[in-house]
Structure 1
Amino acid sequence: MAKMLDKIVVITEDTREILSSVIPDTFQEQRTVNQNWTISFNAYDDNSVAYSLLVPQACVSWKGQEFVIKQSQPQFNAGTNIIQVQATHVGYEVSRVVQTNVNTGVKTYSVNDVLSFYLSGNQFGYTWEVIGDFPNQQIENLGGSNGQDMLSKIVKTWDNAIFSPDNKNIRIMSTDNFYYDEGKAITYLGNSSSVQLNYDSTGITNKVLCKSEAKEGTGQDGNPPEYYFEPFYVQDDSSIAKYGIIEHNPISDNRFHDPDSMRAYAKSQLQPEATLSIQVNYLMQEQEEIKVGQVRTLIIPEIDLRTKVRVTQTSTHPLSANQASTAQLNSTAQTILDYNNSLRLGFDTAKYNQEDITSAINDAINSNKNAIDKIDSALNNSTSDNTLNVATGTIKLHRSNDIVYVSVNLTNVLYDNPVATFPEAYVPSTQISDNFTITSNGANYIVNYTLSTQGVFQITGIMSLTGEQAQLKQFSGQLNYLK
């Protein structure tokens, strides 16, 4: 039985009616940071009051948040009446607020100043809240537009601003306050069936010419114009060293009259690194619903990638037991660094392995002794598989180049006792004491293990993310390491 908060309620000025005829697999919630927040669903005609109220501009409530119906499409087919509904979060209806006055000229504002200028005394019941630190910024000719333009102005002027409405409370949060880390992970072939990474260098810029606007009142009556500062370049040396010079169009902005403020602004307009966008299919579990604003650890064992990512877009089917959710993950500078390191590691190990093979072939040819055996040995060393049947389950080993992948499936964990002894081909050169993440009954756990230089693999403990020791009778997990 769904909780009251998870029911869809149709709201009017006089009543609140629970909508019981929603077709579960059709219900979808979509949200993208600073862009949109919508729900959509199909419902059948059950002759209820709630169904009859599904008309444009009516409000529906979902998980305590109100959405305004923007599209409703009744369909009549073979005696069955169905309506398709799409609704937008009421926070985006702030576009109904219009500020007709204009503060002319370039002036300095805080985020609260902008919100107050537009929303003070509005007739639609919108309030506002600023959460986090934002430096004052200069804005030219503020006003003469609606509340949606107000939001666009804020997120464009303050690049760390996130619009996160709570019903009609227009909240502007800093990125530090909006994103939160609960220690949860997204693991490929764990709670995610697919991960797509898109590494794009199209927008890289690492050098820009900064030019001053002419001072007001100069350049008239045949006199030359005067400028606040001489033109100068801003550049990112590390990006230039990596990619060469990729120049941005020259920047000139009347808001900046001193070179230091122009330099800081110009630096913010450069994109010195390629972007990394990540899309995942997420197998949603009740205790681990994926949400915009979460910080997750993305784990892809195949490329030895383990990095923090921000969830910036979700498309979920919270009433369906059959449909997976999708999420867009935003890369940070550290994410890109981690990804580059994983690629470099893969390249280096492949390179070293190829060098080993080439060396073995050359030695065999030069010595003309046991050539075929040496070549076969070098080639077989690049990949290998092994399955260990132990008393408590199975441990599968796969070696690709110098990376060993381990899949553990145990029915009973014996603390302080060796679980298995790995064959020599999988034994690391130095002892490993590490951990990996598993999911059991919707909860994440950290499994600590050691692997000695004698090949003794041992589980030393299983802890919940809150630090309590867990007693699991059965679990499956994956880990990998450099041999």
Structure 2
Amino acid sequence: MKNVVIQDFEKNYAEILTDFDRYNFQEEWQENTSWQLKLSVSKTDANQFTFDLINFESTVLFDNQEFVIKQMNHKFNGLRQTKEVTAVHIMYTMQYDFQYDVISGKKTISQLLHHIFDKNTQGFTWSTVGTFPSVEQENFGNSNLLDLVNEVLDDYFAVVIADKKHLTFYSKNSYGAKTENTIRYRYNTDEITLDCDTTNLRTEIRGNMSGYFPPVVYRNKEAFERWGLRIATPVDDERYTDENSMKLRLENELQYYPAISCNVIMKLPYELEKGDYVVIVLHELNMNLDVQLVGYNKYPLALARPPELTLSNSKKDMINIQRDIIKTIKKLKKGASK
């Protein structure tokens, strides 16, 4: 059975947590957005020392990962004390480091990651997997490291997966394993919610003429034969200064199949890694659908409580759409302050 260990901020003590609410111990993850633990502990004779270690900026060690307590609700009810905490993954502490210098010009993802992390003060390391475009950058830097990483994720269509303080950046087409796992309605789940949307379904997209190369057109042949010609808004982004990078951008941008997102509550424990692909089978709709895990709520210490999964085949699921909205708001505020 997995243990939960509490470590004080100074790292003088690390003790296994006992006598707490294991059933509601929760792990939440959303792709490129959040990764955190939630737990509730009442003070007893059996856990009083470890209970006192639970404080702001203390660490929760679980499943070979490290999470830092950022939110704590400390309740007093008679002689009973209870702490309800939220601890975020150690990767998000990169926001406490700052890159003052800026760089410009045509850059690969590796060049930007070197700029972000080569002099970081907290021991973060990184690697990349897959093929990424090169993108023209202007004054990249002068921000905390987390904001800069989020810019990289947006500009290079990347997904980041953390293992403690090592960050792996995947291109979209190299991320996630094709598994033989199947989610079958009325077999291993009785609750599936499907959101289907063809609003943004397009079969052809054109990249801008930046002066470096002629306009690039990407058409998905299979989708064109199925749905006919549906032209997407052209990508007008002068940061792409070579044709191959623009082609990668267009392939990542074009939503050439119906966007479907699923929320599934499993009946049984279900093993699935971040980004894995599974097949959802719905005989009622004659549907066999390949979808990717983009979020989950797990209860890893309660075998009787299966996970809640969020799966999607969309080029931009709701998580990324929300991040784009936040990014746009930040840009507008930045422009207004000039």
TM-score, length basis structure 1 = 0.58
- Mapping for residues 252-271 of structure 1, pairs under 5 Å: 252-257=236-241, 262=246, 265-271=249-255
Identity %: 22
Pick aligned residue for 1:275 from 256, 259, 265: 259
Gapped regions of structure 1 (runs ≥ 5)? 214-226, 334-483
Distance 2:84 2:215 in 1: 57
Give the AA of the match of 1:60: V
Tell me, yes or no, if structure 1 residue 201 matches structure 2 residue 198: yes
Aligned 8 A contact 1:284 1:290 in 2 = no
Tell me the CA shift for residue 174 of structure 1: 4.1
Distance 1:254 1:198 in 2: 34
- 1:373-399: per-residue Cα shift (whole Å, max 9, x none)? xxxxxxxxxxxxxxxxxxxxxxxxxxx
Distance 2:180 2:242 in 1: 44
Name 2:5's counterpart in structure 1.
Answer: 9
Distance 2:35 2:87 in 1: 9
Distance 2:220 2:199 in 1: 17
Give the AA of the match of 1:320: A
Tell me the CA shift for residue 74 of structure 1: 0.4
Tell me the CA shift for residue 270 of structure 1: 2.7
Give the AA of the match of 1:283: K
Aligned 8 A contact 2:207 2:215 in 1 = yes
- Mapping for residues 63-78 of structure 1, pairs under 5 Å: 63-78=63-78
- 1:342-400: per-residue Cα shift (whole Å, max 9, x none)? xxxxxxxxxxxxxxxxxxxxxxxxxxxxxxxxxxxxxxxxxxxxxxxxxxxxxxxxxxx
Aligned 8 A contact 2:209 2:215 in 1 = yes
Name 2:94's counterpart in structure 1.
Answer: 94
Pick aligned residue for 1:186 from 152, 158, 183: 183
Tell me the CA shift for residue 247 of structure 1: 4.7
Q: Taking structure 1 as reference, are residues 182 and 272 closer, same or farther at Cα in structure 2, changes over 3 Å only?
A: closer
Q: Taking structure 1 as reference, are residues 310 and 240 closer, same or farther at Cα in structure 2, changes over 3 Å only?
A: closer
Tell me the CA shift for residue 112 of structure 1: 2.8
Question: SS of 1:26's equivalent?
Answer: coil
Aligned length: 310
Q: Taking structure 1 as reference, are residues 331 and 267 closer, same or farther at Cα in structure 2, changes over 3 Å only?
A: closer
- 1:244-267: per-residue Cα shift (whole Å, max 9, x none)? 665544432222346665455345
Name 2:311's counterpart in structure 1.
Answer: 329
Question: SS of 1:152's equivalent?
Answer: helix
- 1:121-176: per-residue Cα shift (whole Å, max 9, x none)? 3221212222x2224512312222222123212222322x3211111112223456
Aligned 8 A contact 1:210 1:252 in 2 = yes
Cα RMSD, aligned residues only:
2.9
Distance 2:18 2:59 in 1: 16
Distance 2:176 2:241 in 1: 34
Aligned 8 A contact 2:216 2:246 in 1 = no
Distance 2:179 2:208 in 1: 45
Q: Taking structure 1 as reference, are residues 67 and 140 closer, same or farther at Cα in structure 2, changes over 3 Å only?
A: same
Aligned 8 A contact 1:212 1:257 in 2 = no
Give the AA of the match of 1:52: D
Name 1:60's counterpart in structure 2.
Answer: 60
- Mapping for residues 361-372 of structure 1, pairs under 5 Å: none
Name 1:138's counterpart in structure 2.
Answer: 135
Name 1:151's counterpart in structure 2.
Answer: 149
Name 2:82's counterpart in structure 1.
Answer: 82
Q: Taking structure 1 as reference, are residues 134 and 257 closer, same or farther at Cα in structure 2, changes over 3 Å only?
A: closer
Question: SS of 1:315's equivalent?
Answer: strand
Aligned 8 A contact 1:97 1:118 in 2 = no
Distance 1:290 1:100 in 2: 39
Aligned 8 A contact 1:291 1:314 in 2 = no
Question: SS of 1:293's equivalent?
Answer: coil
- 1:51-106: per-residue Cα shift (whole Å, max 9, x none)? 112212111111111001110010112432111100111012222221110013x2
Tell me the CA shift for residue 117 of structure 1: 1.4
Name 1:344's counterpart in structure 2.
Answer: none
Q: Taking structure 1 as reference, are residues 319 and 158 closer, same or farther at Cα in structure 2, changes over 3 Å only?
A: same
Name 1:316's counterpart in structure 2.
Answer: 298
- 1:179-233: per-residue Cα shift (whole Å, max 9, x none)? 23453322222221222221111223445565445xxxxxxxxxxxxx5567686
- 1:13-58: per-residue Cα shift (whole Å, max 9, x none)? 1121111132122211111221111110111012622111221211
Higher relative contact order (CA 8 A, sep 6+): 2
Name 1:115's counterpart in structure 2.
Answer: 113
Tell me, yes or no, if structure 1 residue 301 matches structure 2 residue 301: no
Question: SS of 1:123's equivalent?
Answer: coil
Aligned 8 A contact 1:134 1:158 in 2 = no
Give the AA of the match of 1:312: V
Give the AA of the match of 1:39: L
Pick aligned residue for 2:28 from 22, 27, 30: 30
Give the AA of the match of 1:107: K
Q: Taking structure 1 as reference, are residues 71 and 264 closer, same or farther at Cα in structure 2, changes over 3 Å only?
A: closer
Distance 2:132 2:215 in 1: 26
Pick aligned residue for 1:167 from 161, 164, 168: 164
Q: Taking structure 1 as reference, are residues 289 and 80 closer, same or farther at Cα in structure 2, changes over 3 Å only?
A: farther
Distance 1:96 1:186 in 2: 40
Q: Taking structure 1 as reference, are residues 172 and 268 closer, same or farther at Cα in structure 2, changes over 3 Å only?
A: closer
- Mapping for residues 393-472 of structure 1, pairs under 5 Å: none
Pick aligned residue for 2:37 from 33, 36, 39: 39
Tell me the CA shift for residue 332 of structure 1: 7.2
- 1:422-480: per-residue Cα shift (whole Å, max 9, x none)? xxxxxxxxxxxxxxxxxxxxxxxxxxxxxxxxxxxxxxxxxxxxxxxxxxxxxxxxxxx
Question: SS of 2:131's equivalent?
Answer: coil
Tell me the CA shift for residue 298 of structure 1: 2.4
Give the AA of the match of 2:278: R
Tell me, yes or no, if structure 1 residue 292 matches structure 2 residue 289: no
Tell me the CA shift for residue 277 of structure 1: 1.0
